[in-house]
């Protein structure tokens, strides 16, 4: 068949099909209508609640522009009264995450729990007061153990008749396995006091006081003064200089667990001697050294001989920490990372599993269904920690309604004229808050506010007060 004839046949077939369609349907085919879209203002929406209105007005502040902010409020029964869209997304909680640790500790460890540190040996001293081996400081992970406590232990040993140790004073920090710092903690944090590692034997909150004599003019080298408690083998790499008067602590300390090199960078203000705090790299070794010195000062002879490792099964003296609630009071008040991390590791050890898994399992057993949870540590120091605001609020609600709920709330700080009891969290660009609001008519609501990506220079807390005051009023409507 020729090409022209094919073309003519196709045209006639097309015309025929069109005529048949019109005959059967009564009209010619038309282009498909576009998908209908609602006219702005024509769709009826649910009424905006007072808490939602308060949050939306507050979050419209230009100072909060660009930040990711999740906010939610739960009623007395744990039901959601309001949750912003980002309340359902996992955000970085900073130190507000500590409540996941402390609330679990009340239940898993109990209010009577105390950390225990013992001094042990393979056998009791002989009738002549001699230990034919090593004296072992056995750590229990106590974050509050102090030099004063070591002095008391040494005095107790002397009262018990100890006169000579043929071996050495050594520390056993094996109660906590693994590294004392998380892989996710920043290099710029772990050398500073707030980033100190959690060891099986801790001492004086694992902190070093570092004092500098500034120069007479800007840029002069700031002289590092002798550091009490540091070992003879410590190498100090000090490049700290003199900054403007009133400029405060601008020093960053770099060190590593069990290391001997400590690098100091930054500035201290011009004027008088200025003191900062860094982390103690090797608390177990420091504790053993100071206990040795305390015993020798009390007249005990330390022979220093080398003995093979032996089970130190005979307890000669014991130190017990303050009870758990007192530790948590301090932990919440100053946001102590070391105390939180030691509780975190202690609960993992008690459950005989990874601490993150132990805490997640505990809260899931209490009815919390997490999504997006990433629990790196017990303190909130790691930026890689992630939790949804609704889940953090639910943890606090469940804790408040549990058997230790009154004591848990008592451990929190109060704000906004006493109407808010909560735990704050803060790191550069991150501000968080979780706890309880008392409304104008006496209702207690649970809330969580998490803001990520803030301008670090923003004065966030006065803004937070403004929101929570509005919620306290709105919650009674």
pLDDT at position 25: 38
CA–CA separation, 367 vs 395, rounded Å?
9
7 pLDDT band, cuts 50/70/90, is very low
pLDDT at position 15: 37
> At residue 284, does pLDDT exceed 50?
yes
Go through 415-442 and write b for each residue having 16 or more CB atoms within 10 A of its CB, e for each that does not.
bbeebbbbbbbbbebbbbbbbbbbbeee
Classify residue 456 as exposed, middle or buried by CB count within 10 Å of its CB (0-12, 13-18, 19+): exposed
Mean pLDDT of the region 373-390:
98
CA–CA separation, 395 vs 360, rounded Å?
11
Mean of per-residue pLDDT scores for the chain: 90
Mean pLDDT of the region 368-388:
98
CA–CA separation, 344 vs 328, rounded Å?
12
Nearest one of 92, 106, 114, 55 to 398, comparing CA atoms: 106
> At residue 29, does pLDDT exceed 50?
no
Residue 47 has what DSSP assignment?
A: P
Interval 180-209: pLDDT, tens:
999 999 999 999 999 999 999 999 999 999
Token code pair at residue 249: 């602590």
Count Cα atoms within 13 angstroms, Cβ side, for 261. Answer: 2
pLDDT at position 276: 97
Query: 14-28, 341-355, 414-428: which range is least confident on average?
Result: 14-28
Torsion sign across C-alpha atoms 371, 376, 377, 380: negative
CA–CA separation, 154 vs 214, rounded Å?
38
pLDDT at position 261: 96
Which 3 state secondary structure label does DSSP give 156? helix
Strand ranges for 21-121 from DSSP E:
68-74, 80-83, 116-121
- Work out the percent of the chain whose per-residue pLDDT is above 90: 87
Query: 41-45, 259-263, 331-335: which range is least confident on average?
Result: 41-45
Domains (range + CATH), the chain: 50-112+324-474 (3.40.710.10), 116-177+284-319 (3.50.80.20), 187-192+199-280 (no CATH)
Length of the chain in terms of residues written? 477
Classify residue 275 as exposed, middle or buried by CB count within 10 Å of its CB (0-12, 13-18, 19+): exposed
> At residue 212, does pLDDT exceed 90?
yes
Greater model confidence, 150 or 16 = 150
The segment with the largest mean pLDDT, out of 5-14, 228-237, 299-308, is 299-308
> At residue 44, does pLDDT exceed 60?
no
157 pLDDT band, cuts 50/70/90, is very high
Mean pLDDT of the region 127-153:
97
């Amino acid at each position: 068949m020729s090409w022209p004839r094919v073309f003519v046949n196709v045209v006639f077939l097309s015309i025929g099909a069109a005529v048949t369609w019109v005959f059967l349907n009564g009209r010619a085919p038309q282009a498909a209508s576009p998908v209908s879209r609602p006219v702005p203002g024509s769709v009826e929406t649910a009424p905006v609640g007072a808490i939602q209105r308060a949050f939306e007005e507050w979050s419209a502040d230009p100072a909060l522009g660009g930040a990711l902010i999740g906010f939610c409020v739960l009623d007395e029964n744990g039901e959601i009264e309001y949750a912003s869209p980002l309340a359902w997304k996992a955000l970085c909680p900073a130190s507000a995450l500590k409540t996941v640790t402390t609330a679990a500790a009340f239940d898993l460890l109990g209010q009577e729990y105390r950390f225990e540190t013992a001094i042990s040996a393979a056998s009791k001293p002989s009738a002549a007061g001699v230990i034919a081996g090593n004296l072992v400081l056995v750590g229990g992970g106590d974050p509050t153990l102090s030099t004063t406590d070591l002095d008391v232990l040494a005095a107790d040993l002397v009262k018990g008749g100890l006169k000579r140790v043929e071996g050495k004073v050594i520390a056993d920090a094996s109660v906590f396995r693994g590294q004392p710092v998380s892989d996710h903690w920043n290099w710029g944090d772990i050398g500073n006091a707030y980033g100190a590692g959690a060891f099986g034997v801790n001492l004086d909150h694992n902190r070093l006081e570092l004092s500098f004599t500034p120069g007479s003019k800007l840029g002069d080298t700031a002289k590092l003064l002798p550091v009490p408690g540091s070992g003879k083998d410590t190498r100090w790499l000090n490049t700290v200089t003199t900054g403007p008067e009133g400029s405060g602590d601008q020093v960053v300390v770099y060190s590593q667990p069990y290391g001997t090199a400590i690098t100091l960078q930054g500035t201290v203000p011009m004027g008088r001697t200025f003191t900062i705090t860094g982390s103690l790299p090797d608390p177990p070794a420091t504790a053993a050294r100071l206990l040795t010195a305390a015993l020798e000062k009390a007249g005990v002879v330390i022979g220093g001989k080398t003995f093979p490792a032996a089970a130190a099964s005979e307890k000669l003296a014991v130190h017990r920490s303050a009870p758990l609630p007192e530790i948590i009071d301090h932990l919440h008040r100053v946001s102590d990372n070391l105390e939180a991390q030691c509780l975190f590791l202690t609960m993992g050890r008690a459950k005989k599993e990874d601490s993150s898994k132990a805490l997640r399992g505990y809260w899931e057993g209490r009815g919390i269904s997490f999504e997006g949870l990433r629990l790196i540590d017990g303190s909130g120091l790691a930026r890689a920690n992630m939790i949804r605001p609704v889940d953090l609020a639910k943890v606090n609600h469940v804790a408040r309604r549990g058997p230790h709920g009154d004591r848990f709330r008592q451990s929190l700080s109060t704000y906004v004229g006493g109407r808010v009891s909560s735990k704050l969290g803060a790191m550069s660009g991150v501000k968080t808050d979780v706890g309880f609001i008392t409304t104008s008519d006496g209702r207690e609501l649970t809330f969580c506010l998490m803001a990520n990506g803030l301008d670090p220079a923003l004065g966030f807390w006065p803004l937070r007060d403004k929101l929570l005051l509005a919620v306290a009023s709105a919650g009674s409507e």
